[in-house]
A = this chain, B = another copy of it.
Amino acid sequence: MNTRSEHAPIIQMKDIEKHFGAVIALAGVSIDIFPGECHCLLGDNGAGKSTFIKTMSGVHKPTKGEIIFDGKPMHFDDPRDAMDAGIATVHQHLAMIPLMSVSRNFFMGNEPVKKIAGINFFDREKADRITMEEMRKMGINLRGPDQAVGTLSGGERQTVAISRAVHFGAKVLILDEPTSALGVRQTSNVLATIDKVRKQGVAVVFITHNVRHALAVGDRFTVLNRGKTLGTAQRGQITPDELQDMMAGGQELAQLDDALGGTV
């Protein structure tokens, strides 16, 4: 699974900094992402995880630092550039529009077109067909492709978002806390999807607060803390407890954990 030694990294983020006005969200973070690995990004609230993957997916421009994609330096001007390069992102606050139909959402920003009389038209039949197919593959029975996303449950929406990202042939799939609001069944669904995608050779960046979810699918683990990285660990090089400690900022939690039976 861990194909690290075989490939060159698909994305190298070098010394990324990001400032929002008076707030320094990222203070120099470097990470390499390899194809076929699931790279977990962990860290406290406000550590800068979302900000980091947003620079990776072209939503934010880094204040400083370099992004090397497939060996070449890249400058994403907006999310479309990143998508065109093969970076698909499922954002923490879902990138779905409740009032729009599933198929329109599925293809949002990537609409298939057909030329009629030299003009590009939105190819709805194709969009509908592909959507129904992909949803069926993921085990979601839609009433029809024009069912509004607002009528889907949280887990279903997450699944739509992930399958959309996979469908568009992403080389890198970024998932920002996809499981935080999901039930056990939905969560395992999502984790299984991650596993499947990774096996297809796609690089997955998986953000979570849940050490167990991370350990279930992760190959490598990077912990962010207050805008800096605490380093990257290989699967097997680190125990769940060590990971837990790193995320919480060291020993602070020891006593509390004791009192609650160490099961947080």
Q: Which residues of A contact B (CB under 8 A)?
A: 43-47, 153-155, 177, 180-188, 191-192, 195, 209-213, 215-217, 244, 247-249, 252-253, 256-257, 259-261, 263-264
What residues on B are CB-neighbors of A183 within 8 Å?
A: 43-45, 47, 209, 247-248
Using known A-B contacts A182-B209, A211-B184, determine if residue A217 contacts B260 with beta carbons closer than 8 Å.
yes
Q: Please tell me if the beta carbons of B185 and A253 are within 8 angstroms of each other in the complex.
A: yes
Given contacts A185-B248, A187-B209, A210-B210, 6 further A-B contacts (CB under 8 A): A47-B183, A184-B209, A185-B253, A192-B256, A192-B259, A216-B261
What residues on B are CB-neighbors of A210 within 8 Å?
A: 210
Q: Please tell me if the beta carbons of B185 and A263 are within 8 angstroms of each other in the complex.
A: no
Q: Please tell me if the beta carbons of A264 and B45 are within 8 angstroms of each other in the complex.
A: no
Q: How far is A164 from B17 in the complex, measured between Cα atoms in Å?
A: 37
Q: Please tell me if the beta carbons of A264 and B209 are within 8 angstroms of each other in the complex.
A: no
Counting chain B CB atoms within 10 Å of each CB, the highest count among A47, A184, A252 belongs to A184
26 contacts between A and B (CB under 8 A): A43-B183, A44-B183, A45-B153, A45-B154, A45-B183, A181-B181, A181-B209, A183-B209, A185-B247, A185-B248, A185-B252, A185-B253, A187-B264, A188-B248, A188-B256, A188-B260, A191-B264, A192-B256, A192-B259, A195-B259, A210-B210, A212-B212, A215-B261, A216-B261, A216-B263, A217-B260
